[in-house]
Amino acid sequence: MNPIGIPDRLIIAIGGNAIHPEGIRGTATHQGQLAADTARALLPLMELGKQLIITHGDGPVVGKMLLRHAIARARVEPKPLDICVAHSQGGIAYLLMQALENALREKGNPRHVVCLLSQVEDDPNDPAFANPTTPIGYF
């Protein structure tokens, strides 16, 4: 911690519905604007010079991806859920990274942003699987 009490590492979690709220079509333009709005909101934290770690959800985006696959399944073989999740994570991270760097440059800040795609292995015996609470896609 530094003298004014702000930790050297800050972690921000952005929910999937914040990135793709209900009622939008989810076009690249919509998602880019939401990413730009998020970047402007996070700019004061980025300008502190601390390590900023951002994690994000992707449920609504991966849900639309699955819908596209269902509609096109007669012409294109659908991808499994894990690959759809990786695609949506990468796309969201790219939009956020681009928007964060744009916001920094607008303020003359030379700081760079990177994205990291990770994989998590769930315990198949996790009791949460008996009562799922987070839907994916349209419901």
Among the residue ranges 8-17, 35-44, 99-108, the one predicted with the least confidence is 8-17
**Whole-angstrom distance, CA of residue 37 vs CA of residue 125:** 39
pLDDT of residue 24 exceeding 90, the answer is no
pLDDT of residue 18 exceeding 90, the answer is no
pLDDT of residue 91 exceeding 80, the answer is yes
Specify the pLDDT at position 138: 60
**Whole-angstrom distance, CA of residue 72 vs CA of residue 20:** 22
**pTM for this entry:** 0.83
pLDDT tens readout for residues 97-129: 999 999 999 999 999 999 998 888 889 999 998
Specify the pLDDT at position 59: 79
**Whole-angstrom distance, CA of residue 23 vs CA of residue 35:** 16
All residues at 6 or more sequence positions from 17 whose CB lies less than 8 Å from its CB, including other chains: 57, 59, 60
CA dihedral 19, 44, 29, 25 (to 10 degrees): 30
According to DSSP, the β-strands at 9-14 and 51-56 are parallel
Residue 13, amino acid: A
Q: Record the tokens describing residue 122, joined without a space.
A: 């769930």
Cβ atoms of 139 and 68 within 8 Å: the answer is no
Specify the pLDDT at position 61: 85
Q: Provide the mean pLDDT of the chain.
A: 88
pLDDT tens readout for residues 43-78: 999 999 899 999 998 878 888 888 888 999 999 999
